Chain A
Amino acid sequence: MIDIRNSPFLFGLGAFVALFVTAQSLVFIAAAWKEGKRLGIPSATMRKALVGSGTFSVVPSIAILLAVLTLAGALGLPLPWIRLSVVGAITYELPAAETAAQAFGTSIKSTISDPTVFSAIAWAMSLGSVFAMVLITLFAKRIQSGIHKAQLKDTKWAGLLISAMFMGLISAFLGSALGGGLVSILALLASAATMAIFGLLIKKAKMAKLENFAMPVSMITGMAVAALYTIARNGGVR
């Protein structure tokens, strides 16, 4: 059976998506540049915005690449690459993939080799994140012109609502992680401890630059602990 996950066809789809995103970025940059000139914004200011933002984005982009890497074990390289190039973010893609896998009685804890399950995961990741794009298409113009601003008067509750929803999701996965036994609990604790250390360094030692790496490094630490523990328990690599 062919490996759909890393097939040339999927890499081709990935390349197409990357080209689309590049084209859109270039078109929007060109339009903004032209309008900026018309408004009398100095070219130097606009160039500074481009170079500054590009430089600013290198490190977070490496963090996104690491997120692709963490998903590659179960889903292959192209699908996580596609998902994190358009719309996606690891905090959404991972729960979406796992929930879809579980509906088919499996889990992304192991390699997804069944083509039907793989396609279901691809559908779930894509359909689940389309909503914001539909909203933007329909309402961005009206939101910009101020009509909808009133809807978000209670910004404190809006922030709390997002936190509460995320906490519901996180606690659900924490609860199901308990079922993974000691290895999973060790991975969870190692990753949580790493994140706590990052939090202290960022807040107390004012090392704000570490912020971008806190999530991927914590995840990789947790995963590494799981691998090392299993090797030690089995008395070496088998």
Chain B
Amino acid sequence: MNTSVRTGKSYDETIHRNGRIWMIAAICITQGVPLAISLYFGVWPPLGKLIAGLLPTMLVFWPIAIVEVLTFTPMLGSGGTYLGFVTGNLSNLKVPAAISAMQQAGVEPSTKEGEIISTLAIGASSLVTNVVLVSGVLLMSYLLPILESPALKPAFANLLPALFGALGVVFISKNWKISVAPLALMIGLFAAMPSLPVGILIPAGALVSIGVARIMYKRKML
């Protein structure tokens, strides 16, 4: 089934139209969640502080979003893209699920058959994640008092070092040469000014990291 079947435009046209409608609905719903919280509880964060809290991560994640859209869209096909980008967890779940389903069915991405198999795979994957999360959240709501017990406080207080220790190992082992400059910068900054907020550290780290990586890439050191 490796050959692409030529068909009329109807499915393609419909999937893009419907996909856009669902995507706009998803944008409204995801932004509607904080809006509902603010309206219902009557709490509005001051705009200046919100922007200060939002900018540093946007600086890193919005360019990543562009690369992800350009990379994953041809891989997942139209239906898979509209569904996958709404349900999230792309690189850790949806993309591998779609690719392995296409491999097992013996079809290629970017063909009519690949489009169908990928959409089915991402749909099934989203449903399963949903079932697991809903049942897990129901179960965990009984465990909330335990989660908030004083003995576990230091555990949750160290969530960030726990995430970034593990992520650090992943990225350093992937490409240790890229990691040297930003790590050196952070150790230096920490020694000089120990209490700088991450809102300043993130753009500094990202700019130095990208700049040095670009120079090394141009000099064929990567």
Say whether B123 contacts A28, CB under 8 Å.
yes
Say whether A86 contacts B88, CB under 8 Å.
yes
Say whether A109 contacts B133, CB under 8 Å.
no
Residue on A nearest B222 in the bound complex, by CB: A160
Residue on A nearest B126 in the bound complex, by CB: A25
Say whether A184 contacts B81, CB under 8 Å.
no
Q: How many B residues, CB 8 Å from partner?
A: 157
Chain A residue contacts of B178, Cβ below 8 A: 160, 163-164, 167
Cβ distance B28 to chain A, nearest Cβ, rounded Å:
10
Cβ distance A38 to chain B, nearest Cβ, rounded Å:
8
- Interface of chain A: mostly helix, strand, loop or mixed: helix
Q: A52-B121, A87-B86, A161-B213 are in contact. Are A103 and B50 (CB under 8 A)?
A: yes
Determine which of B128, B137, B161 lies in contact with A177 in the assembled complex, contact meaning CB atoms within 8 Å.
B161
Q: A71-B159, A163-B178, A164-B210 are in contact. Are A49 and B88 (CB under 8 A)?
A: no
Within A5-25, which residues are at the interface with B (CB < 8 Å)? 6, 9-11, 13-14, 16-18, 20-22, 24-25
Q: A57-B125, A86-B26 are in contact. Are A103 and B60 (CB under 8 A)?
A: no
Say whether A171 contacts B133, CB under 8 Å.
no
12 more A-B residue pairs beyond the given contacts A33-B120, A73-B148, with a C-beta to C-beta distance below 8 A = A17-B33, A21-B87, A28-B82, A39-B7, A41-B116, A49-B117, A53-B121, A68-B140, A115-B41, A158-B67, A168-B209, A230-B153
Say whether A57 contacts B57, CB under 8 Å.
no
Chain B residue contacts of A224, Cβ below 8 A: 155
CA of A110 to CA of B61 in the docked complex: distance in angstroms? 25
CA of A165 to CA of B178 in the docked complex: distance in angstroms? 10
Residue on A nearest B50 in the bound complex, by CB: A120
Cβ distance A79 to chain B, nearest Cβ, rounded Å:
8
Chain A residue contacts of B153, Cβ below 8 A: 73, 110, 227, 230
CA of A38 to CA of B159 in the docked complex: distance in angstroms? 50
Chain B residue contacts of A160, Cβ below 8 A: 175, 178, 213, 217, 222
Chain B residue contacts of A120, Cβ below 8 A: 45, 49-50, 53
Cβ distance B97 to chain A, nearest Cβ, rounded Å:
5
CA of A57 to CA of B68 in the docked complex: distance in angstroms? 21
CA of A130 to CA of B26 in the docked complex: distance in angstroms? 9
Q: Which 7 A-B residue pairs are closest in the complex by CB-CB distance?
A: A222-B162, A103-B53, A73-B156, A175-B186, A168-B206, A120-B45, A100-B53
Does A132 make an interface contact (CB < 8 A)?
yes
Chain B residue contacts of A32, Cβ below 8 A: 79, 115-116, 119-120, 123
Say whether A133 contacts B86, CB under 8 Å.
yes
Chain A residue contacts of B156, Cβ below 8 A: 70, 73-74, 109, 223
CA of A124 to CA of B202 in the docked complex: distance in angstroms? 15
Say whether A195 contacts B166, CB under 8 Å.
yes
Within A58-116, which residues are at the interface with B (CB < 8 Å)? 58, 60-65, 68-74, 77-78, 81-82, 84-92, 94-96, 98-104, 108-111, 115-116
Determine which of B67, B93, B117 lies in contact with A162 in the assembled complex, contact meaning CB atoms within 8 Å.
B67
Say whether B53 contacts A99, CB under 8 Å.
yes
Cβ distance B167 to chain A, nearest Cβ, rounded Å:
5
Cβ distance B158 to chain A, nearest Cβ, rounded Å:
4
Within B183-215, which residues are at the interface with A (CB < 8 Å)? 183, 185-187, 189-190, 194-199, 201-202, 204-210, 212-214
Cβ distance A96 to chain B, nearest Cβ, rounded Å:
5
Say whether B26 contacts A123, CB under 8 Å.
no
Q: A64-B133, A165-B60 are in contact. Are A195 and B165 (CB under 8 A)?
A: yes
Chain B residue contacts of A162, Cβ below 8 A: 64, 67
Cβ distance A17 to chain B, nearest Cβ, rounded Å:
6
Within B51-103, which residues are at the interface with A (CB < 8 Å)? 52-54, 56-58, 60-71, 73-74, 77-79, 81-83, 85-93, 96-98, 100-101
